[in-house]
Structure 1
Amino acid sequence: PGPPDPTLDQGETIDIPLRDGTTSQIRVFRSKDSLDKLLPLVVLIHGGGFIMGDNRQFSSVARTIVNLYPVVAINISYRLAPVHKFPIAAHDTHDTIQWLSQNASSLGADPTKGFILVGGSAGANLAATATQRWVSTKSSPAITGISIGSPWLLSDEIVPVAYKHMWFSRDQNQDAMILNREAMANVTSAFEPDVFSPDFSPFNDPDPHRGMPPVHIQVCGWDPLRDDGLVYEKVLKEHGVKTRMEVYPGVPHGFRVFPGLAMAKRSFFDQILGVGWLLGDEKMDEDVERLVPGDNYFTA
């Protein structure tokens, strides 16, 4: 996408402190109608394989949810590889979520009314690992739900034995568009993750999954990462976690970059409606359509 549309709200930018003395930029989105009350907090974490992307990526999602539910939406940043390798992205995300949980009222939010993380791709990894850590350390206020799209959560070495037979999309989709075996190898060599670390995957937590809040997952059929999401959903359910899942057959990772595609619009609507499910405030397609007519969902 080109430069952002100047007629659209790009959020208020604020720099917040991180553990190493540096700062990170967040974008704060609020509905003009709700400036006088504290609202649930939704934190959006962009994708880009840990090597690209920025906090404008989910601007259209943020604008839509603040006008639909209403909530305060925060698009966050994290430092990127290859300059900042693993686990910097996870640390930046954790520090940002912690800061937001402690300073929410200054942004017009009250996370005890709802505290949701939304992430795509690399951002889905960061949302899942941050939430698992939050649950394991009994941090408060509690994160009340996460919505993750095309998450990268597994590596061959850490797939639980009972699910190995379900985890074959790396091979099946090795030649897919957008994200394929070569692209994954490039990301891995730039990012250099420790695949056994809890900062890489919730599966590496000493006591994973149990006690997680409800999880909404979206996966693409023609994506090497597809089975990470499918296995995660199955494992969560077996640990008593509420889940909601959408699968988009035959489309590649990041297929929303094709705005004319009917399924791209469907996935955007499902993401918005999934946030409502997590908030306990379910909406319909027509509610989203009123705010985002045509293909406007793609506008940064």
Structure 2
Amino acid sequence: MTQFKLSEEWKLACCISLVTELSLIDSQFERNNSVSPPPTTIDDYQIIKAQRGALAQECLKRDAFKPLVDDVQVENLKISLPEVVGHRFPIRIYRPSLTPEEKLPIMLYFHGGYWCAGDANSEDLGCRAIIARGSEVIIVSFFYRPVTDVPWHTVFSDAEYAMKWLASSAQEFGGDTSQGFLIGGAESGAHLAALCAVRARNRYPNIRLTGQVLIVPTLIAWPDPQIPRDWADRLKSHVEHADDPVLNETLYEKLVEKLNVFADARRDGDNFPMWADLRDLPPTYLAMDECDPTRDQGFLYEALLSEAGVRTRTDFYPGLPNMFVQFPDLPTTAIAGFHLSVGVSWLLNPGT
């Protein structure tokens, strides 16, 4: 695990930037909704997540973000999945601006938002950074249906079907899965990515995923009275960071409850990968923050993967909150974008 220690000056700069950005979101939120964050309800959370995505798009107009615009081609499309009748799914495709004639590795990416919020905009800067900072890969960002519109198992199946679709359609977008087929996401998107890795191994012998990118993943339906004692002892962040400002434990549990997953399905590894047999899963890159009730889920999963013989690599950012990368003005965010690109390159080049 690579731990990025922050100097006191750097921490102060991060805190000032975070306060500035939260204040900006706060003022916009109050103007539009007469309610102040941090969010305490799912409705609040959906609005703030959308505002973060909008702010990320505004950042692309700044000179500092010019490489993320100039070095990346972006295309928005809608697709149909054979298993889903009557719905077209938005996708956003990212390619290097100087795309070579030969096919490139491809990655399927799921946005965060704890199954009920977010879209391609909220993850846009990270996807752009992967390519702009040097990874030769095509990224397909997939907009699954939220649990506010469909049952939990449909959300999970949307991700699975998207994986099946891209496995057979990669060449249409300049991709070649034999060069590399990654799956990734953030928060709930990381959960869907990990879920797909398990289902690919269990259900689709013709699909060969070559890596996972898991950014602050949530991998278990917490709380659950039947969680093994040794797991519970290693998930202290749910208590230690219960009152953190960006995502608190109360809101997190409301978001999990909104899934409405019945008890047995909560402990099925095909649904929540922490419960799965983790052998023979693809190498995994994780990016982890500290001030986050879900933090220890990622670290526990890393440990369980390693015990199962899966190669892992983790970057850890002490002192930073849940999904700090959605605050573009934080000094560490640009660095994290570079590290994310390096992590993807590590997955694409197994010998490194």
**TM-score with structure 1 setting the length:** 0.85
Determine the C-alpha separation between the residues in 1 that align with 2:302 and 2:156: 21
Match of 1:198 in 2: 269
Instruction: State yes or no: 1:101 paired with 2:101.
Output: no
* 1:107-126 superposed Cα distances (whole Å, 9 cap, x missing partner): 11111110011210010100
SS at match of 2:98: helix
CA deviation after TM superposition for structure 1 residue 277, in Å: 0.7
Equivalent residues of 1:14, 1:26 under 8 A apart: yes
The residue aligned with 2:78 is 14
Between the aligned partners of 1:266 and 1:102, the Cα distance in structure 2 is 34
Residue 140 of structure 1: CA displacement? Answer: 2.4
Structure 2, unaligned stretches of length 5 or more?
1-51, 62-68
Query: Where do 1:62-77 residues align within 5 Å?
Result: 62-67=127-132, 68-77=134-143
Q: Which runs of 4+ in 1 moved over 4 A?
A: 5-9
Q: Is the 8 A contact 1:42 1:74 kept in 2?
A: yes
Over the residues paired in the alignment, what is the CA RMSD in angstroms?
2.3
Candidates 250, 254, 272, aligned match of 1:182: 250
State whether residues 109 and 185 of structure 2, in contact with CA within 8 Å, keep that contact through their aligned partners in structure 1. Answer: yes
Change over 3 Å in CA distance of 1:20–1:13 after alignment to 2: closer
% identical equivalent positions: 25
What secondary structure sits across from 1:135 in the alignment?
helix
Q: Which residue of 2 aligns with 1:139?
A: 205
More moved, 130-139 vs 160-169: 160-169
Amino acid at match of 1:85: P
**Greater helix proportion:** 2
Where do 1:10-159 residues align within 5 Å? 10-21=74-85, 22-34=87-99, 36-67=101-132, 68-154=134-220, 155-157=222-224, 159=227
Q: Within 5 Å, which residues of 2 pair with 1:261-280?
A: 261-280=330-349
Question: What is the CA–CA distance in structure 2 between the aligned matches of 1:112 and 1:99, rounded to whole Å?
Answer: 15
Identify which of structures 1 and 2 has the higher relative contact order when contacts are C-alpha pairs closer than 8 Å and 6+ apart: 2
Structure 1 residues 160 and 133 mapped into 2: Cα distance closer, same or farther (>3 Å)? farther
**1:143-179 deviation per Cα after TM superposition (whole angstroms, max 9, x unaligned):** 0001111111122435444333211111111101111
Say whether the 8 Å CA contact 1:46–1:119 is kept in structure 2.
yes
Q: Deviations over 1:70-117 (max 9, x none)?
A: 221111110002222312221101101100001111111111110011
The 8 Å contact of residues 16 and 96 in structure 1, kept in 2 or not, is answered as no
CA 1:165–1:199 in 2, change beyond 3 Å: closer, same or farther? Answer: same
Q: Which has the larger radius of gyration?
A: 2
Q: Is the 8 A contact 1:62 1:74 kept in 2?
A: no
TM-score for both structures, normalised by structure 2: 0.74
Residues matched between the structures, number: 281
SS at match of 2:152: coil
Q: Distance in 2 between matches of 1:64 and 1:263?
A: 13
- Contact 2:283 2:312 survives alignment (8 Å): yes
Q: CA separation in 2, counterparts of 1:250 and 1:193?
A: 32
